[in-house]
């Protein structure tokens, strides 16, 4: 197959590490939230700390279902995946954003449905992603209902339990400086 597509080489790597590299960093804590699961992956000097990786069974699909539930309560019935990806955002201060949404229309944005109908989204835009930090907002029963801020804190605690070896500077031939 490599010959067919004239592929000169292939690099296989862990998604979290590659994401961290893309930001120009070698050390950090990466949150990967996919369709069905979220991982917190601590990375030190380009090496994932596998003993400290945490998994949460709360991710994009849960948020899509939650948004669909909120929209259905308003009398609409359709697929909400595209709407979630285009209009939803994480509020830095959920309480303040809720107050703002109740008193003004600043957070309201319109979404055009495939049939041409237009729906306005207000507090749903930030209430949906807030479920990542307050899983109790979801009607589903999670095995480990923890919010992502607690996952990040726990991941950092796990990392501090381990003694990380800091690489020492070396010459080009590998000898210590």
Distance CA 102, CA 126 (A): 13
Quick check: 133 pLDDT over 60? yes
* Three-class SS of the chain: CCCCCCCCCCCCCCHHHHHHHHCCCCCEEEEEECCCCEEEEEEECCEECHHHCEEECCCHHHHHHHHHHHHHHCCCCCCCHHHHHHHCCCCCCHHHHHHHHHHCCCCCEEEECCCCCEEEECCHHHHHHHCCCCHHHCCCCCCCCCCHHHHHHHHHHHHHHCCCCCCCCECCCCCEC
pLDDT recorded at residue 108: 94
- Find the mean pLDDT for residues 145-164: 65
Q: What is the CATH number of the domain that holds 35?
A: 3.30.420.40
Say whether both 64 and 116 belong to one domain: yes
Say whether both 95 and 128 belong to one domain: yes
Per-residue model confidence as pLDDT tens digits over 59-77: 888 888 888 888 888 887 7
Say whether both 50 and 68 belong to one domain: no
105 or 146, higher pLDDT: 105
Per-residue model confidence as pLDDT tens digits over 5-21: 888 888 888 999 999 99
Per-residue model confidence as pLDDT tens digits over 25-60: 998 889 898 898 989 899 988 999 888 888 888 888
Residue 4 lies in a domain: no
Say whether both 23 and 51 belong to one domain: yes
pLDDT recorded at residue 101: 92
Residue 91 lies in a domain: yes
Q: What is the CATH number of the domain that holds 81?
A: 3.90.640.10
Question: 0.85 cut: is pTM over it?
Answer: no
Say whether both 122 and 68 belong to one domain: yes
Residue 7 lies in a domain: no
Per-residue model confidence as pLDDT tens digits over 79-126: 788 888 899 999 999 999 999 999 988 999 999 988 888 999 999 999
Residue 10 lies in a domain: no
Say whether both 95 and 114 belong to one domain: yes
* Chain centre distance of CA 4: 36
pLDDT recorded at residue 109: 94
Say whether both 89 and 103 belong to one domain: yes
Where in the sequence is the domain holding 79, given as residue range(s)?
A: 60-137
Our count of domains for the chain comes to: 2
Residue 1 lies in a domain: no
């Amino acid at each position: 197959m490599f010959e067919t597509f004239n592929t000169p080489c292939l690099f296989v790597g862990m998604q979290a590490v590659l994401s961290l590299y893309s930001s120009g960093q070698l050390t950090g804590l990466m949150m990967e939230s996919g369709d069905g699961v979220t991982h917190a992956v601590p990375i030190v000097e380009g090496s994932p700390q596998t003993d400290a990786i945490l998994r949460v069974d709360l991710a994009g699909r849960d948020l899509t279902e939650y948004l669909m539930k909120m929209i259905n309560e308003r009398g609409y019935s359709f697929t909400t995946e595209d709407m979630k990806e285009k209009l939803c955002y994480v509020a830095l201060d959920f309480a303040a954003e809720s107050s703002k949404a109740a008193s003004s229309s600043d957070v309201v944005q319109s979404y055009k449905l495939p049939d041409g109908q237009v729906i306005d989204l207000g507090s749903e835009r930030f209430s949906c992603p807030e479920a990542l930090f307050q899983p109790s907002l979801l009607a589903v029963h999670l095995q480990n209902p923890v919010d992502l801020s607690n996952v990040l804190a726990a991941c950092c605690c796990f990392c501090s339990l381990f003694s990380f070896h800091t690489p020492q500077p070396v010459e080009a031939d590998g000898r210590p400086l």
